[in-house]
A and B are shown apart, each in its own frame.
Chain A
């Protein structure tokens, strides 16, 4: 099957987009948590020496 013929390419791109979205959904769910905005502790971002 030629996956680059126009109808197949659209199908392929849609299928890929679903996979991409799945990864992004997992990331979003893992990073969004309520207690974060309540902390008084300043954010520690890595210093140049550490990275």
Chain B
């Protein structure tokens, strides 16, 4: 499939220059969505509703009123963000939510900026999985080749951006759900620090791990979107100390810690791609992490227990409406003891200390986003570095690190595998230093692309 480049920055410039209007952008997006139904990226889309938003944006512009640079830009939304004009299903057959048809804070911020809330996107059921294969409307297919998965759980959002249906989309990330599909689909995904982006109106998977973030086709496009994600929100108390987005034009250093060693293995092909990427960075230190398996279990325990707590009522009243896989995981979560949950929290604190120590005066940690090339739909297991890992576990192999420690993370495309599908790398910055991480990523990418030209 030929991938059409759809850049938010270019669309912003074209709108500002009067070369295009919102109705044209939305019409193009509607046509692309219609032509690309084989991806199964879209859950709900109301053309007349979307065109009405575009017409309103064009009228404003004609009157000299522009709500923001993104006024009139169509943006897709993962189906676990509440939206006032679309149902929110989390791609599950569980009973409809009683409190839907209102906007999540981030959707509300984008709407206030004039963005066109274009469509809801396919996701792994209740975000409890990282392949996007388990959804009540069926799996999402990869835009490069439909026989491959997109990764998840924000797979529909990443596929929609990668295929050029929209130039930007929203995702949520509990163990990589923004970064995994972004990496697999060859686009950029940003997971803010825990507590910097409001979770209000985003159906939770795990309260203390979830972070909503943007997916787009460049770092510059991510930069356009972050102001609508970062900042305090009275309706999410974890964000009360969150600072509003404050762009950093420069980044002082460019020192990366490459995490390697037991528990952080990757295939030879991925390792070679990461090493090639790092060869353009002046200062790189290699470090291993102790007890990776134990800290992974800490993340897994917290994830299962918090998800089960959120869904406990549904498990009593309609457990057969969940898919088998989701029900199994939620049932396991219900059987985790309070003692186990507290042990996991204790390990989490220990892990945060180790991560902060590893970072020290250095600027970011770096890992491949995925340890293997993008899998096909029918591959249940991945074999790499002498390990036999389920495809599900291989998707979150590195990404959970950023969620357990609450770090800001960005996944950047760095090349393609022998199968021709994208490979991505993840940079993880210091907690709360989201702007610094983005500035660092831009510097590294510029130097890498300059080196390639």
Q: Does A27 contact B (CB under 8 A)?
A: yes
Q: By the criterion CB–CB under 8 Å, are B332 and A23 in contact? A: yes
One of B84-92, B342-350, B414-422, B441-449 contacting the partner? B342-350
Interface size on A, residues (CB 8 A): 20
Q: By the criterion CB–CB under 8 Å, are A16 and B327 in contact? A: yes
Which residue of chain A has its CB nearest to the CB of B341? A31
- Give me 21 A-to-B residue pairs in the complex whose CB atoms sit less than 8 angstroms apart, sorted by A's number: A16-B324, A20-B335, A23-B300, A24-B335, A24-B336, A27-B332, A27-B336, A27-B340, A30-B293, A30-B294, A30-B296, A31-B294, A31-B298, A31-B301, A36-B343, A36-B346, A44-B346, A45-B345, A46-B348, A46-B349, A51-B208
Q: Which residues of A contact B296 (CB under 8 A)?
A: 30
In the complex, the number of residue pairs spanning A and B with C-beta atoms less than 8 Å apart equals 64
Known contacts A26-B300, A51-B238; A31 and B343 CB within 8 A of each other: yes
Known contacts A30-B297, A31-B301, A49-B241; A20 and B332 CB within 8 A of each other: yes
Which residues of A are at the interface with B, using a C-beta cutoff of 8 A? 16, 19-20, 23-24, 26-31, 33, 36, 43-46, 48-49, 51
Minimum CB–CB distance from B306 to chain A (whole Å) comes to 11
Minimum CB–CB distance from B145 to chain A (whole Å) comes to 30
User: A41 CA to B347 CA in the complex, in Å?
Assistant: 13
Which residue of chain A has its CB nearest to the CB of B349? A44
Given B207, B208, B328, B347, which contacts A31 in the complex, CB threshold below 8 Å? B347
Minimum CB–CB distance from B104 to chain A (whole Å) comes to 20
Q: Does B267 contact A (CB under 8 A)?
A: no
User: A27 CA to B340 CA in the complex, in Å?
Assistant: 8
Contacting residues of chain B (403-436) with chain A, CB-CB under 8 angstroms:
none
Given contacts A27-B301, A43-B342, A43-B349, 19 further A-B contacts (CB under 8 A): A16-B324, A16-B331, A19-B328, A23-B300, A27-B304, A27-B336, A27-B340, A28-B340, A31-B301, A31-B340, A31-B343, A31-B344, A33-B294, A44-B349, A45-B346, A45-B349, A46-B348, A46-B349, A48-B237
